[in-house]
Amino acid sequence: MKSSIRDKTEGTLHQVKGSVKEVAGKLSHNRKLEAEGTVEKVEGKAQTKVGQVKKVLGK
């Protein structure tokens, strides 16, 4: 699998996991879990963008 596809796939996975953690934190009033989810979601978006850039550059 090309690294660009792997980065985009892993980024999407992190976004989903982050969203789940964020919602779970909101429902349980656990601010730490909610913050972890937000951070993981943002990291996933960044990783997805890296994959998109690699695809454009052909790596």
pLDDT digits (tens, 9 = 90+) for 6-51: 999 999 999 999 999 999 999 999 999 999 999 999 999 999 999 9
Q: Quick one: pLDDT at residue 42?
A: 96
pLDDT at 57: 87
3-state SS class at 53: helix
Say whether pLDDT at 1 is over 80: no
Which value, to the nearest 10 degrees, does the dihedral of the CA atoms of residues 15, 19, 21, 24 take?
-170
What single-letter DSSP state applies at residue 5? H
Total domains, the chain: 1
Domain that holds residue 53: 3-57
With a cut of 90, say whether residue 58 has pLDDT above it: no
pLDDT of residue 18: 96
